[in-house]
Structure 1
Amino acid sequence: MQKIILLSASAFGALSVMIGAFGAHALRATLEANGRLDTFETAVKYQFYHTLALLAIGLLMYRVSDKLLEYASLSMIGGILIFSGSLYLLCMTGIRWLGAITPIGGLLMIIGWILLFWAIARGS
């Protein structure tokens, strides 16, 4: 599982840079015209922050063996996909109800952080 987490962090990291660059250059005019530049930037930032957290969890797994770390990473992966993914789709399609899905991703990110805290606190 640790290898999957580290590979996921690597892939999400690369995607963060690629999506961010694509938005800043190829999509900038469209995002500005639709008033979605800030939304797109938020999606990229949260994806990148949680990518770094995934990397940290994967590295922590070398020292700590705890199922909570796996659950934390899976929660963060789900959070990235739902939170950032729904915002990307909202920006690209203008479908407003996608914004209603975004908090589910945010909740998964929060759960991931809490599970990480719990794993570290119990010191397994």
Structure 2
Amino acid sequence: MTSPFLWKAGSILGCSAIALGAYGAHGLVKVVGDDQVKLKNWGMAAHYQLMHSVALIALASIPPSVRRIHPAVGPLILTGTIMFSGSIYLLTLKRESFRALGPVTPLGGLTMMAGWAALLL
């Protein structure tokens, strides 16, 4: 993936993480009630999304002339973040409707970990 794409993807993930985090802090209780586990899970998803948006922007900021990063790092981090956080958001809102996405959460986490591990290559 190109640096401009990663920059834009990181920016979109960052902006939406802030919006989803704010919703989780102020509006989610109207949907899930006072379920502390759901509220905590939502906050964790927003936190991981924001952290990885910054990582994508940092990757995109490295000049190509000095970049020695495996080309899979960006796609793995981006895909893993969408899988991990996205599945948590959907499962928090409508667990019964999105029950099939349950396995996507740990797979997204593993994909993010693979992206970080690829930085070693």
The two structures have a TM-score, normalised by structure 2, of 0.86
CA shift digits 1:58-81 (9 cap, x unpaired): 11244434461x310100110111
Q: Which residue of 2 aligns with 1:76?
A: 77
Query: Helix, strand or coil for the counterpart of 1:14?
Result: helix
The offset of 1:101, in angstroms, is: 1.5
Structure-1 separation of matches of 2:55 and 2:26: 27
Over the aligned positions, Cα root-mean-square deviation in angstroms equals 1.8
Residue identity over aligned pairs, in percent, reads 32
Structure-1 separation of matches of 2:95 and 2:34: 12
1:44 partner letter: A
CA shift digits 1:20-79 (9 cap, x unpaired): 1112112124334344001101110110111111111111244434461x3101001101
The offset of 1:10, in angstroms, is: 0.8
Q: Which residue of 2 aligns with 1:102?
A: 105
Asked if residue 47 in structure 1 is aligned to residue 49 in structure 2, the reply is yes
Structure-2 separation of matches of 1:63 and 1:40: 39
Q: Which residue of 1 aligns with 2:117?
A: 114
Structure-1 separation of matches of 2:119 and 2:69: 10
Do 2:69 and 2:119's aligned partners in 1 also have CA atoms closer than 8 Å?
Answer: no
Change (3 A) 1:67 1:113: closer
Where is the helix percentage greater, Structure 1 or Structure 2? 1
Q: Which residue of 2 aligns with 1:85?
A: 86
Stretch moving more, 10-19 or 30-39: 30-39
List alignment gaps of at least 5 residues for structure 1: 119-124
